[in-house]
Amino acid sequence: MERTLRSNKSQRKPLWTKAFLITSLANLLLFFSFQMLIPTIPTHLSQLGGDNIQIGLVIGIFTISSLLTRPFAGRALDLLGRKHVLLVGLAICAFTIAGYSYIAAVTLILAARFVHGIGWGLSTTSLGTVIADIIPPERRGEGMGYYGLSNTLAMALGPLTGLWVMHSIGFSYVLLISTILALLSLFSSLFITYPKPLLPVKPRQRPRFVDRLWEQSALLPSALLLCSAICYGGIVTFITLFGLEAGIPNVGLFFLCNASMVLLVRPLTGVLFDRKGPEWVLLPGAAFTITGLLLLSYAHSNTSLAIAALCYGVGFGSIQPALQAWTIQRSSPDRRGAANGTFFSANDLGIGLGAMALGALANWSGSYAMMYRYSTGLIILFLLIYGWSFWAFTWHKKTAH
């Protein structure tokens, strides 16, 4: 018995390979470069004379272009190969960020943001597909959890670093550092090696054009991600205004506590996903998300804000990597690019919808607190969709026997 256990352990494929580390580093550098610009570009646009609509378009145009790009990026990844698409996307990001330094007109910056969004859609979809090829299938949840930590670190430190640099030495240095980070991501990606995905043994019927862009097996986890991302979009867009409404001047504590909890739970829930399955991660994650949103809506002090962030961090840190691992698990190797394109499109769409729809909900309900309470309905919808799919799968399995 002991010999068998040792044998199984020895046969377990390693996770922390050179390719895994380089891909995670490239992702960290890219996301840090991106996160430095999130709070600083709107401020820069305002200083150039941009109005509120134009400042809002800085995020909106970027989101739209990346959303439109992802399906085509997924198709290109499956057709042309991972590395070509990745390097093109990273090059677009690096040179667009460098180009911001030479643009003084608001309209031209908005046009550059559209191009930047194309590079972002190509590069992030590529990195998500490459890491899926690298991670051993039996450790997919664990691997995605660790890989996602690079996103979390960037989300926690990137905006703070960007603001500090801008206030200390100027926005031009924010662009310089962001460009260098994007170029380092491009350089490190040159050394990424990954196994070539195996093609299906039986040739499949030639899919329709739409089916080539979207992966049907990814629709269920993407629909669940959409519900979660709408809630997250409402948080990142309106948390500062909520803080003013609730009398909490420094809401940066929310992001710090949220990121800390995400860093803690992602590796643990990844292992749980591999050993027990998605339901053991998604259902508790949904419960913590609902709790975090409700506690946030009643927060009136730094302490209550921190507790809400910790609960929300457990839910957010559990759901997103589990859904991404489940997406890869459900798709065939030759359709991973399309699957990742579908998955990340749902994330972009959700954040964009959260900014617009939940803002309208806040106006209708009269407060941001009520908006967060009502947004728990999206997570209840999340549970209903997952419960229906689980019941349908179980029923189909019984009838098949």
Q: Model confidence over 214-226: pLDDT tens digits? A: 678 889 999 999 9
Spatial separation of the C-alpha atoms in residues 212 and 49, rounded to whole Å: 43
Rounded to 5 degrees, φ, ψ at 366 are 95, -5
Mean pLDDT across the stretch 18-28?
A: 94
- Side chain identity at 51, as an amino acid letter? D
pLDDT-derived band at 401 (thresholds 50, 70, 90) equals: low
| DSSP alpha helix (H) spans, 38-170 | 40-47, 52-80, 82-99, 106-134, 140-169
Please classify residue 374 by burial: count the beta carbons closer than 10 Å to its beta carbon, then call 0-12 exposed, 13-18 middle and 19+ buried: middle
- The closest alpha carbon to 170, from 182, 181, 178, 162, belongs to 162
pLDDT digits (tens, 9 = 90+) for 289-309: 999 999 999 999 999 999 999
Residue 339 tokens, joined: 């699957």
Most confident of 18-22, 79-83, 265-269, 339-343: 18-22
364 near 375, Cβ under 8 Å? no
Show Cβ contacts of residue 156 under 8 Å, excluding neighbours closer than 6 positions.
255, 256, 259, 260, 263
146 near 1, Cβ under 8 Å? no
Mean pLDDT across the stretch 43-64?
A: 76
Most confident of 63-67, 195-199, 353-357: 63-67
Residue 31 tokens, joined: 């996301």
Spatial separation of the C-alpha atoms in residues 172 and 178, rounded to whole Å: 10
Min mean pLDDT across 1-5, 28-32, 64-68, 115-119 is at 1-5
pLDDT-derived band at 213 (thresholds 50, 70, 90) equals: low
pLDDT-derived band at 201 (thresholds 50, 70, 90) equals: very low
Q: Which residue pairs, CB below 8 angstroms and at least 24 apart, start in 244-248?
A: 245/367, 245/368, 245/369, 246/299, 246/300, 246/368, 246/369, 247/300, 248/299, 248/300, 248/301, 248/302, 248/305
Amino acid 10: pLDDT: 47
Of the chain, the percentage scoring pLDDT greater than 70 comes to: 89
pLDDT-derived band at 394 (thresholds 50, 70, 90) equals: low
